[in-house]
A and B are shown apart, each in its own frame.
Chain A
Amino acid sequence: MPADTNILEIEALCVEAGGKELLHHLDLAIPEGEVHALLGQNGSGKTTLMMTIMGYSGYQVTHGEIRFKGQDITALNVTQRARLGIGIAMQRPPTIQGVTLSKLLAYELEHTRAPADMAELAKIAEIEPFLNRSINDGLSGGEIKRAELAQLLAMSPAFSMMDEPDSGVDIEALSLVGKLIHRLFSPDEKHPVKRKAGLIITHGGHVLNQYPIDKAHVMHDGKIGCSGNPAMIIEAIGASGYEACVRCMETR
C-alpha cells in the first residue's frame, strides 16, 4: 500500500517511560478510512502506544518516527497533534476540579467543525446529569467512557483513539458505546463506507461486536506480534487464550 494513503505510520518506534523501555522497534500503519483494534494482555504496551501517538510528555521516543497524514509529528506537542486531527478517549482520565464538562465541550465545539451541538451531544451520549459537574469528578466507569466519547464527537478528529471503551460496561451500556463509536467513525449515514480512521484498544474484544473493525493487531512485549482479520483473531484468543497467542508469537 503506498505511503500516502496511510493516515498514521509508525516506524521502528522505541519508547521509554519511567526509565524503562516499553515499546521496542514497533511498526504500525493505519490507512485512511480504516478503524483498527489493538489487542493484548495487560502490560503489553497498548496504552503506552496510544499515549505516545497523542504526544504525552511522560512517554519519551528514543528511536523511530510517527507520521500523521505524511507529516513527521514525533517532535510535536499534544496540542499540535490534537489540532492536526488526532483525538483520544482515555480509560482513566484525570479529574479536573472547577472545570465543567460543558465548558470543555463548548471549547471543543467552538474550535472544531463537528456537526453537533451541545444539547444534542449531551442527549445522545447521556451525559446530561453530569454536564455541569467538574470533569470526571465522581463519575462511574461507564459515565467516564460516555464523557470521553462525547468529547471525541465534539472534536470530530480525523483519527480517533480509544482506550478500552468496552471494559467494565454492561450489555446495555455497551450498545450505547457502540452507537457513539458508529457516529464518530461514520458521521455520514448516506455513505457508510466513507469513514474516519481510528485505533481502539480492547482487552476482551467486545467492541468488535459493536462496530465493524478492519484489522486487529495483537501486542506483546512492546511490539505488534500479529495482525490480521479481527473476527478470526478474537476467535483464536477466545478459544485458546492470550497465553497460546503469546507462545505462538514468541516461537515465530
Chain B
Amino acid sequence: MNSSNNPVHGHMDMGRLDQYRASQRDAQTDKVAETHIGKSDTAALAGAGVFLGSEKRSATMVVRDHQPICLQNDSKGFEMLPIAAALKQYDWLREKYFFKAVPEDDNEAVASCAKQENPLGFFIHVEKGVKVTLPCQAAMYMASDKLAQMVHNVVILEEEAELQLITGCLTRHHVRSGMHVAVEEHYIGRNARLVSTMVHSWGPEIMVYPHTGTIVEEGGRFESNYVLLRAAGHVVSNPRTWLNGRGASAKYVTVVIAGPGSVVDTGGSVYLNAENTSAELAHRGVSTGGIMNQGGMLIGAAPCKAHVDCAGMLLDPGERGYIESVPGLQSLHPDARMSHEASVGKIAPEQVEYLMSRGLEEREAISLLIRGFLGAEIEGLGETLDERIAEIAEIAGHGEG
C-alpha cells in the first residue's frame, strides 16, 4: 500500500501528538454524565448519521472531546457503556478482549492509547442469540480545536448475536486542527453478524489514525461501510480482519473523498484462515486535489474466496494530488481463490453531455456521475449510506472537498 518511492505515505508522524491537548480530563469526566448537548452539536452529529433522541436507535453514546456521554440504552440482552466503566465492572473484558485484536505495542499511537489510565470510548456487548433490531450509534465528537482525542472501543457479539453499529466521527464546524487516534476491536462470535457503518467528517487539518482489529468466528459475518465525507489533513485506515472460523466472511465498502491538502490512505488486510471463508473489499474514491492511496491485502491461508477492488477518480489533481491504487494478494494455500482489480479514471465528457442532453445542468450531471461511480456495483448500500455518497458527489462535483 505504501510504496517506498511515494513521497507521502500513510505513516503517522507521532511527533505531532505533543501539539495537542491530550490529557485535559479530570475525575468528573470518567462518570457517565448527562451533559447537555447543544443544537449545533445535534445538527453536526446528524450530518454524520448519529441522530440524538431518535426512536430508531437502540442505544447512543457520544464522546465529546474527552467526555463520554451515554444518552440512551434501553435494550435487553445488550449493553453499551463507556469503556472505563466496563473495565471496572467486568474483569473478563481486560483478560479476554482488551487489546487482543489490536496489540497494544502495535505502533506508537496505539501504545499512547494503551497508556491511558481511564480510557475513553465505548464498550458494546450483545449476549448470545440476541438480535438487536434497531441500530445502536456512537459519536466520537471533537468540539474543541487543537485537541488530541484518543478512544478505545470494544464490540463483542456472542454466538448468534446480531448488531448494526453506526459510528460518526467528526469535528465541530469551526475546528480546524487536532488529532484523533482510535483503537477499535470487534469480536464476532459463531454465526453472529456485525454491520458497522462509519461516517467520518473532519476539519481540514485533523490527523486521523484509526486502528481496527476484527476477529470473526465460525459462520460469523462482518460488514464494514466506511464513508469519509469531509476529508481531514491526514487519514490512515488499515483495518485488520481475521476470519478464523469455518465459513466466516467479511465485506468492506470504503468510499472516500480527498480534497486539496488532504492525504487519505485506506487499505486493510483480511486474513482468511479457515475453510470456506470469504471476503470482499471495495474501495471507491474521488480526489479533487488530495492524495489518495488505496490498498487492501488479502491473505489466503485456507480454501477460501476473496476479491479486492479499488477504483479511483481523479477529478482535479490540483498542485499535488494523485491516486495510487495497489490492491494485493498473498496466497498460502493452493485452494485459496483470490483476485484483485484496480482502476483510475476521470469523468468522460460524452457521459456528461449525454446526461445534459436529458436536461441536466453540467454540475448536476457531474454529481450524478460521481455518485454512480462511488456507488457502482455496491449492492444494498442502504439509504443512509446512499445519502452520504450523494453528499460526497455533490461536494466533489462542485470542485470543493
Partners in one complex: yes
Query: Which A residues contact B (CB, under 8 angstroms)?
Result: 54, 56-58, 77-79, 81-83, 87-88, 90, 93-94, 96-99, 103-104, 107-108, 111-112, 134, 151, 155
Q: Is the CB of B354 within 8 A of A93?
A: yes
Q: Is the CB of B372 within 8 A of A57?
A: no
Task: Tell me which residues across on chain A come within 8 A of B358, comparing CB atoms.
Answer: 82, 104, 107-108, 151, 155
B362's closest neighbor in chain A, by CB? A79
Q: What size tier do the contact residues of chain B reach?
A: 20 to 34
Q: Choose the segment among B168-176, B300-308, B344-352 that binds chain A (4+ C-beta atoms closer than 8 Å).
A: B344-352
A105's closest neighbor in chain B, by CB? B358
B375, CB-defined interface residue at 8 Å: yes
In angstroms, Cα B374 to Cα A78, docked, is: 25
Interface positions of B from 59 to 112, Cβ below 8 Å from A: none
B256, CB-defined interface residue at 8 Å: no
Task: Tell me which residues across on chain B come within 8 A of A99, comparing CB atoms.
Answer: 355, 368-369, 371-372
Q: Is the CB of A78 within 8 A of B357?
A: yes
Selected A-B contacts with CB under 8 Å, 28 pairs: A58-B350, A77-B362, A78-B356, A79-B356, A79-B361, A79-B362, A81-B357, A82-B357, A90-B354, A94-B348, A94-B350, A97-B372, A97-B373, A98-B371, A98-B372, A98-B375, A98-B376, A99-B369, A104-B355, A104-B358, A108-B358, A108-B359, A111-B359, A112-B359, A134-B372, A134-B376, A155-B358, A155-B359
Q: Which of A57, A97, A103 contacts B349 (CB 8 A)?
A: A57
Contact with A along B367-388 (1 / 0, CB 8 A): 0110111111100000000000
Which 6 A-B residue pairings sit nearest by Cβ, starting from the closest? A98-B372, A98-B376, A99-B372, A78-B356, A97-B376, A79-B356
In angstroms, Cα B375 to Cα A46, docked, is: 37
A92's closest neighbor in chain B, by CB? B350
In angstroms, Cα B372 to Cα A111, docked, is: 20
CB distance from A36 to the nearest CB of B (A): 20
| Contact status of A96 and B372, CB under 8 A, knowing A79-B361, A79-B362, A155-B359 | yes
Q: Is the CB of A94 within 8 A of B354?
A: yes
B360, CB-defined interface residue at 8 Å: yes
Q: Is the CB of A88 within 8 A of B372?
A: no
CB distance from B83 to the nearest CB of A (A): 39
| Contact status of A96 and B374, CB under 8 A, knowing A107-B359, A107-B360 | no
Task: Tell me which residues across on chain A come within 8 A of B316, comparing CB atoms.
Answer: none
Task: Tell me which residues across on chain A come within 8 A of B353, comparing CB atoms.
Answer: 56-57, 78
Q: Which of A88, A96, A112 contacts B357 (CB 8 A)?
A: A88
In angstroms, Cα B355 to Cα A83, docked, is: 12
In angstroms, Cα B353 to Cα A78, docked, is: 7
CB distance from A113 to the nearest CB of B (A): 12
B389's closest neighbor in chain A, by CB? A98
| Contact status of A82 and B356, CB under 8 A, knowing A97-B376, A98-B377, A99-B372 | yes
Task: Tell me which residues across on chain A come within 8 A of B362, comparing CB atoms.
Answer: 77, 79
Q: Is the CB of B359 within 8 A of A79?
A: yes
In angstroms, Cα B353 to Cα A94, docked, is: 10
Task: Tell me which residues across on chain A come within 8 A of B368, comparing CB atoms.
Answer: 99, 103
CB distance from B253 to the nearest CB of A (A): 13
Most B C-beta atoms less than 10 A away, residue of A90, A94, A96, A97? A96
In angstroms, Cα B364 to Cα A78, docked, is: 13
Q: Which of A57, A96, A151 contacts B369 (CB 8 A)?
A: A96
In angstroms, Cα B364 to Cα A107, docked, is: 11
B393's closest neighbor in chain A, by CB? A98
A152's closest neighbor in chain B, by CB? B358
Identify 20 new A-B residue pairs, CB closer than 8 A, beyond the known A97-B377, A98-B376. A57-B349, A78-B353, A82-B356, A82-B357, A82-B359, A87-B357, A88-B357, A93-B354, A94-B348, A96-B372, A97-B373, A97-B376, A98-B372, A98-B373, A99-B371, A103-B368, A104-B355, A107-B360, A108-B359, A155-B358
Q: Which of B351, B359, B369 contacts A83 (CB 8 A)?
A: B359
In angstroms, Cα B361 to Cα A87, docked, is: 15
CB distance from A82 to the nearest CB of B (A): 5
Task: Tell me which residues across on chain B come within 8 A of A112, comparing CB atoms.
Answer: 359
Task: Tell me which residues across on chain A come within 8 A of B357, comparing CB atoms.
Answer: 54, 78, 81-82, 87-88
CB distance from B376 to the nearest CB of A (A): 3
CB distance from B140 to the nearest CB of A (A): 30
Task: Tell me which residues across on chain A come within 8 A of B371, comparing CB atoms.
Answer: 98-99
CB distance from A198 to the nearest CB of B (A): 15
CB distance from B384 to the nearest CB of A (A): 18
CB distance from A34 to the nearest CB of B (A): 22
Most A C-beta atoms less than 10 A away, residue of B349, B351, B371? B351
CB distance from B267 to the nearest CB of A (A): 23
In angstroms, Cα B354 to Cα A57, docked, is: 11
A104's closest neighbor in chain B, by CB? B358
Task: Tell me which residues across on chain A come within 8 A of B369, comparing CB atoms.
Answer: 96, 99
In angstroms, Cα B376 to Cα A194, docked, is: 43
